[in-house]
Structures are given as C-alpha cells and as structure tokens.
Amino acid sequence: MIIKSLEQLNSFSKKIADYIEKKDCIFLTGEIGVGKTTLTRYLINHLQKKEGSKTTEVLSPTFNLLYEYDLKKFKIMHYDLYRLKNKKELDTLGIFQENENAIKIIEWPSLIKIPISEKIEIHLEYVKNKNERKLKLLGTGKWKILNEL
C-alpha cells in the first residue's frame, strides 16, 4: 500500500486503532527515520481519544527502550529495541511477561524470535517522493484480515 502523506498515515493508523484490542502486538520495521514512531504517535493518540483519555505527547523511546501509556481499560507499551545487543538483554525486559492488559508496539523487533499468535507487522519503506511511504502488512490470527489492505 502506498501512503502519500502524513494525513494518509494518520487515517491508516485510525483503522488500526479501531481494530486493536488489549493483548495485541504490533511490530514496526523499516529503516531509520522511515516513520515508525510517527505511526505509533498517531495510533496512540487515536486510542487515547477513543478511550476518552487526554491525548499526550508520544516521544521515541530510543534511549529509555520503553514508554508506557495508561488508558482506562488497558495500557500501551511502546518499545524501541534498536539499542539492544542480544537476546539476553531482550529477556531482561520481560516484554511478554505482562500480557493481560497491554497493547505492545515494538520498533526494531528483530531480536524477538518467539511466535506470537495475534500480531501484525507493519513494514515501512521509503519511496521516491519525500513524504510518501510504502507499507507492507503481515498479520497473523485476527490480523490476517489486514493483509488485503
């Protein structure tokens, strides 16, 4: 799918926000600066609106590895694993220990090898035009429906 602008990325993220539930997991892949955090920001802001929470700033967890957002019915855990070096470091984070009430959005998820039953991977790619991106979607479980988008 081609996304022509930030506005279109925002509309796309709303579709995901309408469909997502607690326990879901989103992997975001693609080169540095391609738009993973921007997509996450739109998505979190849509979810905050939908849940009647105040929209907040959504910053990149580049150095903190994780930022959490507490909404009324669930929380959102936004990870950026770019700085992780190995599986041991990944394990200390215990990402999948808390499954019940958390939506997980993970940038740079390549160290995660365990299968996840309900997951969508969104891969972003640069194209010629500066504000355009190509998106590839790979869903498992209920997210398979998005593969047709």
Ligand X SMILES: Nc1ncnc2c1ncn2[C@@H]1O[C@H](COP(=O)(O)OP(=O)(O)OP(=O)(O)O)[C@@H](O)[C@H]1O
By the criterion CB under 6 A, which residues form the site for ligand X? 3, 5-6, 9, 30, 32-38, 60, 80, 107, 131-133
127 vs 141, which CB is nearer to ligand X? Answer: 127
- Using the rule CB under 5 A, give the single segment among 13-21, 31-39, 41-49, 141-149 that binds Mg ion: 31-39
* Distance in Å, CB of 60 to ligand X, minimum: 6
65 vs 142, which CB is nearer to ligand X? Answer: 65
- Using the rule CB under 5 A, give the single segment among 14-22, 54-62, 86-94, 132-140 that binds Mg ion: 54-62
Using DSSP bridges, classify how beta strands 75-80 and 2-3 pair: parallel, antiparallel or unpaired. unpaired
Local structure of 64: helix, strand or coil: coil
Q: Which residue is nearest to ligand X (CB)?
A: 35
CB atoms within 10 A of CB 11: 13
Angle, helices 6-19/36-50, rounded to nearest 10 degrees: 50
How many residues make up the chain in this entry?
149
65 vs 146, which CB is nearer to Mg ion? Answer: 65
Euclidean distance between CA atoms 26 and 48, whole angstroms: 17
